[in-house]
Amino acid sequence: MESWNRMSSDAVRTHTSDGVNRRIDDRVEGCVRHMAEQDRAAITQYLDKLEREWDLNRMVTVAASAVSVLGLVLGARDGKAWRVVSGVAAGLLLQHGLLGFGPLAEVVRVLGVRTRKEIDLEKFALKALRGDFERIPHDGGPLARANAALVAAQS
């Protein structure tokens, strides 16, 4: 079955196996279908939860930084060999920053951690269900429509 998620420009999705992408997409689709049966308050509560969800980049950054600091601390206490751990972690973080993907991202991805684009896609689907975008006027000129669209996108 082909996915409805067409974010082909996303380096993480491109380098992630179809099975992992499908599992993440299925989870999003199931959640949106479930939320379609809920009231506005429940959707709003879930949107607040999504606002706090850590994305893949944040997870990789924190994990690599923690391992790097750990390697430095252990290296200062127990010798130079531990500093290699810091170097490897920093190198993997650099690779992720330059390429948008790397081995750390692959591990985190398999655990089901989503990209910011994937989280935002779910948020916008839920905002549409909640009716946020119905407030955009069809009249009133381009400036009024643009302002209403910006307000709706932030709510």
The residue extents of the domains of the chain are: 1-53+114-155, 55-113
Give, as one character, the DSSP assignment of residue 113: P
CB atoms within 10 A of CB 136: 17
Show Cβ contacts of residue 70 under 8 Å, excluding neighbours closer than 6 positions.
85, 86
With cut-offs at 50, 70 and 90, classify the pLDDT of residue 67.
very high
Triad 66, 52, 125: Cα angle to 5° = 130
pTM: 0.81
pLDDT digits (tens, 9 = 90+) for 4-22: 566 556 889 988 999 999 9
Which has the closest alpha carbon to 73: 65, 83, 63? 83
The residue that leads in pLDDT, 77 or 9, is 77
**How far is 39 from 51, CA to CA, in rounded Å?**
19
